Structure 1
């Protein structure tokens, strides 16, 4: 019997959660698990074609900011495309409303997935936002049959500080596809494609242009780096609403000719290994920071903010944590400490460490399949007992 799963996401563009879901879709047993995607956008997204080619469906459910209209759209989708055995929701606090609607529709397995510790971003918000979060967390507690967190702090953020005392809440690390990190890469060719000099010192970053990723601080760090190292370049991979603002900041800082906005890319591992010398990741908050795991698999020295969960520390010789409250000069010194320095561990050795960690996609898929099967088995047994009791009462 095929278990039918509907994943609820904003849109399937290239970002941490979405990339992980694509890794799952590519590696999961698609004879046993059918994965469809309910999105909050009707616009075409980067992963749409690949999802369709793998047998998944992309189903827009619009108007999430209009609860009544969204509810009508959601109910219609379940009637037209269902029934689904599992609703697996990835939209953080909005998970509460999604799973409330799923419960009302009779979906037996309802999963709230926490991918983020948003506490830093939520501080000092208006009372209306506080009320919204409180209501959504209440609905998650009442309507989720299971909760999954990518890290301890992500679990605490969505399920409460005592989340481990509730057997419904579980822990599942992201896994990454390691095959692209094994393929040979020609750095000269990669740098030539990006118009980077062969001897450039390249600071790299991967992340959507969103306040969470702290691009403004990143550019300030790099502005001081390039003053000390004239051959330095900054390679930014990703897209987002703040990109125009960051481009303007680069112009204002006088470093626009040293910052490369490479956009959304499908070959991130290749660019990490072929173009970057150092990976800089000064996020304001993260659930885990999947791209940091990828940077370690690429064998890159990583300098990142200490808000990143310690679970992400896999290849320790490559890692340097810094507080965002420290002066920019400390970050600059940390970046420059890797100039012309050979990493303490080779890329193939770093890859082996990631391979035997929980962040291998094979381990991640195996664990998720186990969760799905276990919950499906529980509900199957429950409904079989219900049918037996109903038949007995009708005799």
Structure 2
């Protein structure tokens, strides 16, 4: 039986949900059927992370429209005998789809998020959507990580769509009590503080500003409240300015590898996004037994159900965030109920099913 060479392409300028997904998928494809490799298109930490695990090359695009790499990329693809190109993100979709078309190779795209909300500049968002419309017809199959995204991609002309949820492996065993003490001591968070925490890149789409405003009001009622924000990004200075004149104790922890290890330091996990493709971090929060408050937007309600695994609120609604947090703080039994349901829910999103479904798509195009 032939072993097919599958090339994944991604920007790689950060390590977020898409990058975690790619690494998990590449590590778990059946080696008797598929030989995966990776190309990163921007300078960033992902290539360095992936290189020890999977064959990795960097072809650095100078801008989102940079086609100067096309000849060298096509030469590399021919030289490596690539059978299928799988792209993730705007730059990879643009360059990868064109390369696949010219080389008459099948192309699979995974859509991880909403293009309309991925960019700081409205102009950049419009450009990304325009490029996507232009190259969507070159795509053999499109995978979306939620039904919400499937409808969005379909509305701009996407065809041959399949939803495959991101999968989550069981997290390595950690002593939650010890991690709670360790991270609180490391960041100077009092033992008796009630911590609202979140993990994610500091970008407007993640809704951190609404969390900051809600927490700033909640501390008036719950004086032991502490806000913990794990992640890095362009919004950090804006968020710090939002909080510096409040009475709320807060911690910006920056980027943290294996951030799930810090989840036990939180009393409520917050995901106040204004747009979210799926919300992979929710699976980690459920595994670690942290009650969740999240926005009822995008793919989030497909992962956690309202009043079962999480309290869901309208995106951007500070008063509803306050109400949901107040309800959990004052009702520990409700928090326990959400956690218990989450423990039963997260295994439905398995890496095994994600890999199996993706391999079926590959085989449908190659065999």
Which TM-score band (shorter chain)? 0.7 to 0.9
Q: Could you tell me whether the CA contact under 8 Å between 1:93 and 1:158 is conserved in 2?
A: no
Q: How many residues align?
A: 361
Deviations 1:282-307 (A, max 9, x none): 11111111112222222222112221
Distance 1:372 1:277 in 2: 42
Select the residue among 237, 253, 258 that pairs with 1:267.
258
1:103 aligns with 2:101: yes
1:291 aligns with 2:291: no
What RMSD over aligned residues (CA atoms) do the two structures have, in Å?
2.8
Cα shift at 1:93: 7.8
Distance 1:260 1:112 in 2: 37
Q: Could you tell me whether the CA contact under 8 Å between 1:223 and 1:253 is conserved in 2?
A: yes
- Structure 1 equivalent of residue 227 of structure 2: 234
5+ long unaligned stretches in structure 1:
378-395
Deviations 1:317-338 (A, max 9, x none): 2311111364x23311211222
Distance 1:129 1:301 in 2: 33
Q: 3-state SS of the aligned residue for 1:74? A: helix
Q: Could you tell me whether the CA contact under 8 Å between 1:93 and 1:133 is conserved in 2?
A: no
Task: Look at both structures and tell me which one has the larger radius of gyration over its CA atoms.
Answer: 1
Select the residue among 354, 357, 360 that pairs with 1:370.
360
Q: Could you tell me whether the CA contact under 8 Å between 1:75 and 1:105 is conserved in 2?
A: yes
Deviations 1:202-259 (A, max 9, x none): 101111011111222221111112222221111111111222322232224454xx22
Q: 3-state SS of the aligned residue for 1:230? A: coil
Q: 3-state SS of the aligned residue for 2:113? A: coil
Distance 1:183 1:351 in 2: 16
Using the size of structure 2 for normalisation, the TM-score is: 0.87
Distance 1:73 1:216 in 2: 43
Q: Could you tell me whether the CA contact under 8 Å between 1:92 and 1:113 is conserved in 2?
A: no
1:204 aligns with 2:197: yes
Q: Could you tell me whether the CA contact under 8 Å between 2:42 and 2:58 is conserved in 1?
A: no
Cα shift at 1:94: 6.1
Given the superposition, is the C-alpha separation of residues 203 and 234 from structure 1 closer, same or farther in structure 2, using an over 3 Å criterion? same
Using the size of structure 1 for normalisation, the TM-score is: 0.82
Distance 1:219 1:63 in 2: 35
- Structure 2 equivalent of residue 214 of structure 1: 207
Alignment map for 1:79-98 (pairs within 5 Å): 79-80=78-79, 82-92=80-90, 95-98=93-96
Cα shift at 1:90: 0.7
Alignment map for 1:8-23 (pairs within 5 Å): 8-11=9-12, 13-23=14-24
5+ long unaligned stretches in structure 2:
none
1:138 aligns with 2:134: yes
Given the superposition, is the C-alpha separation of residues 244 and 93 from structure 1 closer, same or farther in structure 2, using an over 3 Å criterion? same
Deviations 1:59-101 (A, max 9, x none): 2332243433243453344245x22111111114862453022
